[in-house]
Amino acid sequence: MMNHFNKFLIAGELLAVSVVFSSCEQVKEVQAPNIIWITSEDNSSNFLQLYDEKGVPAPNIEFLAENGIVYTHAFSNAPVCSVARSTLISSRYAPGIGAHYHRKIQQVPMPEGLRMFPAYLRDAGYYTTNNAKEDYNIIKADNVWDESSNKASWRNREENQPFFHVQNIGVTHESRLHFTAEQMQKQQNTTDSDSVFIPPYHPQNELFKYTYARYYDRNMEMDQQVGKIVNQLKEDGLLDNTFIFYFGDHGGVLPGSKGYLKEQGLKVPLVIYVPEKYKAIAHNSRGTEVDAFVSFVDFGATVLNLAGIEVPEEMDGNPFLGKGIKSKELKKRDETFSYADRFDEKYDLVRALRKGNYKYIRNYQAFNIDALQNDYRYIMLAYENWRELFKKGELDNNQSSFFRTKNPEELYDLENDPYELNNLAKDPQYAEVLNSMRNSLKEKIMDVSDLGFYPEHYFLDNAVMNPSGFGMERKDEIEKLIAIADLALLEFDDAKEGIEKSLQSDNHLERYWGLIVCSTFGEEARDFIPDIKVMTLNDQEPINRVRAAEYLALIEEEDPTVVINEALAKSTKLAESLLILNTATLLKDINSPYPLRISAELIPENLMGENYIERRVNYINNNDSE
């Protein structure tokens, strides 16, 4: 069978592309480079000594750094695998293309006119391989990979064919910390538990020390696997022709990192090995650091640029390495945008913007708690221990914040507060910074036509066939929903008229957000109790009846049990049922006074058989978890 490479040879091309650069005022042409991504799962940059003196040595990654570039401000745009990887493969912000839920209930198509970036490499004659994790929330076309499997390798290409290869390393994945109490007693770590650093937001006990030490060991094991891949390239005589990207697929993985828009969930190591012959297009001496902000949305565009392929206009990302990229311009890049939505069975809607040393987080459902039950998270003993210590009142304020309702806005000065403990959002001295960051984030989410402002079941019913097109057509509506959500940022007296208008709207989505704003204001919104009680009975949308009952329960005005069970009995949609159960889980986790119980027999059989639904019902009805 004729492959892409042979097609280009027949067409008379020397190779698919060549890279042209200027060095010492002479124009040189070199063979198109090979490019490898080595991706380790779930690890933040701080676990490596290369980034943090408290981290572990990683001699193989350090070898790449000595012969390449260390990026000190590299970020995943999402703190969880499928959304982060969807951003990487599409070069688009996930909420703008409907790829923002982890994990997908239904995959979405790529935006019209845009393909997953490896397809452009294949067109140019590259051999493209992925070994092996994909985890895309996006439908993958047949033209993306020559091979994607646990056997995929650059060694299967045609002779002299340039290649792009992705190698995933799973040894640092969260699941590697799912040890039992018995295993903890029997399995000794290489790293001494007393030598590890525990951040101030975590309990300083033996379990956390052991968990950190175990993860340090996993990072050292990961580095060894990086070394094996580099050695394979040496054996094949390819090191002089191959750019090697090493990076984590998002932050993590100790409690409160993966899944959350803190720096621990987003900031990743990124080291790029630059072959000597290509150093002119790197614009930096090998063995240097770059402080420019780069994020996953930029990675695909960067690979195309290194390969000499034009970057499609439809991509959100911008190259940060290769032809045409100037160091002076890179220094101006000081901003990154991030997002979190459903994480398995746990719903929240959070967006964040970091600019320079300031970090702004917008919690659109601030009455939620970060510690909301997520079964997979709480397999980790450290998570369960953290929660038990909170229930016993044995945590300090910093350690307890994970279990408390949030503020609608968070603002941190990361230079002076690297662990994001001191929220400056209400400090008058930072009012100007807050307003600037707030406006910048709002502009960003409107620019991408953020689909997170639609409940997931509505999105699946109406937008899933063409999410980006739907978002573009509904820009005005999205802007209106954002405006309603932002009423929560006003003083209540200033927001009251807007809330009343939204609750009385003919548009059920506006009513939905009006109710969420009421829950954010809590007791202050009591004037709306009569209207909201009527909504628990008469709103045409089951989820709105539940949101109304949620508000009344949060202020301890009315038991929501009947409303929640009736809505579950009528729902035929997985995403809608999950969102309803999210309310019930929240009320349980904040110790609501109502003895909520889910009538599982009322839930349609096809939904009760869904893993996420069953998890939620069992947790809510299990008194032992209280």
pLDDT tens for each residue of 41-68: 999 999 999 999 999 999 999 999 999 9
Spatial distance between the Cα atoms of 308 and 11, rounded to a whole number of angstroms: 18
Q: Average pLDDT in the 481-492 region?
A: 98
171 close to 222: Cβ distance less than 8 angstroms: yes
Q: What pLDDT, on a 0 to 100 scale, did the predictor assign at position 31?
A: 84
pLDDT confidence bin for 280, thresholds 50/70/90: confident
Q: What percent of the chain stands above pLDDT 90?
A: 92
pLDDT at position 623 over 60: yes
Q: What pLDDT, on a 0 to 100 scale, did the predictor assign at position 39?
A: 98
Q: Average pLDDT in the 393-422 region?
A: 98
Q: What pLDDT, on a 0 to 100 scale, did the predictor assign at position 14?
A: 34
pLDDT at position 353 over 70: yes
pLDDT confidence bin for 30, thresholds 50/70/90: low
pLDDT confidence bin for 626, thresholds 50/70/90: very low
Question: What pLDDT digit, counting tens, does each position of 491-535 carry?
Answer: 999 999 999 999 999 999 999 999 999 999 999 999 999 999 999
pLDDT confidence bin for 281, thresholds 50/70/90: confident
Spatial distance between the Cα atoms of 345 and 392, rounded to a whole number of angstroms: 26
pLDDT at position 3 over 50: no
Residue 165 has phi, psi (to 5 degrees) of: -130, 140
Q: Average pLDDT in the 431-456 region?
A: 98
pLDDT confidence bin for 327, thresholds 50/70/90: confident
Q: What pLDDT, on a 0 to 100 scale, did the predictor assign at position 282?
A: 81
pLDDT confidence bin for 283, thresholds 50/70/90: confident
9 close to 16: Cβ distance less than 8 angstroms: no
Which position among 56, 58, 81, 292 bears the catalytic label?
A: 81
Residue 390 CB contacts under 8 Å (≥ 6 apart), including other chains? 371, 399, 400, 402, 403
Q: What pLDDT, on a 0 to 100 scale, did the predictor assign at position 285?
A: 77
Q: Is the preceding peptide bond at 549 cis, omega within 30 degrees of 0?
A: no
Q: What pLDDT, on a 0 to 100 scale, did the predictor assign at position 406?
A: 98
pLDDT at position 541 over 60: yes
Looking at per-residue pLDDT, the higher value among 22 and 242 belongs to 242
Question: What pLDDT digit, counting tens, does each position of 139-197 carry?
Answer: 999 999 999 999 999 999 999 999 999 999 999 999 999 999 999 999 999 999 999 99
Spatial distance between the Cα atoms of 116 and 131, rounded to a whole number of angstroms: 16
Q: Is the preceding peptide bond at 103 cis, omega within 30 degrees of 0?
A: yes
**Residues 140, 142, 146, 150: is their CA dihedral positive or negative?**
positive
Report field, pTM of the whole predicted structure over 0.85: yes
| Lookup: tokens for 560 | 């929501």
Residue 611 has phi, psi (to 5 degrees) of: -55, -45
- Taking the CA atoms of residue 382, residue 383, residue 389 and residue 395 in that order, the dihedral angle to the nearest 10 degrees is 90
Listing DSSP states for 181-236 in one string gives HHHHHH---SS-GGGS---TTS--SHHHHHHHHHHHHHHHHHHHHHHHHHHHHHHT
pLDDT at position 26 over 50: no
Asked about 81 being catalytic, the answer comes back as: yes
- Rg of the Cα atoms in the chain: 25
User: Average per-residue pLDDT in the chain?
Assistant: 94
Residue 231 CB contacts under 8 Å (≥ 6 apart), including other chains? none
Q: What pLDDT, on a 0 to 100 scale, did the predictor assign at position 28?
A: 52
pLDDT at position 19 over 70: no
pLDDT at position 17 over 80: no
Spatial distance between the Cα atoms of 626 and 617, rounded to a whole number of angstroms: 14
pLDDT confidence bin for 6, thresholds 50/70/90: very low
Side chain identity, residue 279? K
Strand 242-248 to strand 34-40: parallel, antiparallel, or no bridges (unpaired)?
A: parallel
Q: What pLDDT, on a 0 to 100 scale, did the predictor assign at position 24?
A: 38
226 close to 38: Cβ distance less than 8 angstroms: yes
pLDDT at position 7 over 60: no
Residue 406 CB contacts under 8 Å (≥ 6 apart), including other chains? 363, 366, 367, 368, 369, 370
Q: Average pLDDT in the 107-128 region?
A: 98
> Hey, is 17 helix, strand or coil?
coil
Spatial distance between the Cα atoms of 50 and 72, rounded to a whole number of angstroms: 10
